[in-house]
């Protein structure tokens, strides 16, 4: 397969692959072989991008001889995925996690509310959700994620 890219497209591809590489470093041991195969492919694409469009966009790790996008290429614009990834913080994770846990706990206490067009949810459910979410936000503010333990994952 041959793909012809201009410099802007090559830069976007490098950004996407760098994000993918970041995520691959977080994979479980079960997916390690697949991650290694993907890292090899990412290196191949990095080398082609370096040769064709971005000769000054990469640094070489002397020990592994792998290349990686350098700081200049990584800085990107404020709307680049890499910029957003670099500026991600725990507040976003705490907010999403507190919402999900708050909904779970409210549903345990009051059951899942039925969706009725034009009607509001049960106020008891809403009040329980808000109370639970605030409880989790306070916990995360005080202890970070030190007390979080994942016991089950449900991927949809």
* Separation of alpha carbons 107 and 59, rounded Å: 51
Give domain status of residue 82, yes or no.
yes
At 132 the pLDDT is 94
Tell whether 113 and 67 lie within a shared domain.
no
Structural domain range at position 114: 90-143
Tell whether 28 and 65 lie within a shared domain.
yes
At 156 the pLDDT is 44
At 10 the pLDDT is 87
At 11 the pLDDT is 85
* Separation of alpha carbons 69 and 54, rounded Å: 9
Provide the β-strand partners of residue 58.
69
Tell whether 126 and 79 lie within a shared domain.
no
Number of domains composing the chain: 2
Give domain status of residue 79, yes or no.
yes
Tell whether 81 and 96 lie within a shared domain.
no
Tell whether 95 and 81 lie within a shared domain.
no
Read off the tokens for 39. Answer: 């890292």
Give domain status of residue 153, yes or no.
no
At 139 the pLDDT is 93
The domain boundary residue, chosen from 58, 86, 114: 86
Tell whether 65 and 44 lie within a shared domain.
yes
pLDDT tens-digit readout, 94-138: 888 888 899 889 989 988 777 666 667 778 888 999 999 999 999
Of 111, 113, 106, nearest to 127 by C-alpha is 106
Give pLDDT < 50 ranges for the chain.
156
Tell whether 27 and 79 lie within a shared domain.
yes
* Separation of alpha carbons 48 and 7, rounded Å: 12
Tell whether 19 and 64 lie within a shared domain.
yes
């Amino acid at each position: 397969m041959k793909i012809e890219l201009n410099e802007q497209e090559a830069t976007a591809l490098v950004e996407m692959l760098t994000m993918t590489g970041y995520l691959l470093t977080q994979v479980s041991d079960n997916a390690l072989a697949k991650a290694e195969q993907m890292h090899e492919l990412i290196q191949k694409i990095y080398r082609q991008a370096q040769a064709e469009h971005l000769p000054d966009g990469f640094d070489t790790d002397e020990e592994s001889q792998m290349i990686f996008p350098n700081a200049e290429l990584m800085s990107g614009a404020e709307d680049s995925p890499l910029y957003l990834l670099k500026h991600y913080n725990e507040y976003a994770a705490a907010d999403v996690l507190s919402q999900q846990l708050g909904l779970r706990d409210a549903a345990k206490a009051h059951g899942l509310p039925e969706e009725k067009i034009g009607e509001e949810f049960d106020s008891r459910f809403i009040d329980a959700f808000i109370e639970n979410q605030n409880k989790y936000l306070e916990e995360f503010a005080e202890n970070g994620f030190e007390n979080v333990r994942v016991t089950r994952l449900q991927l949809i």
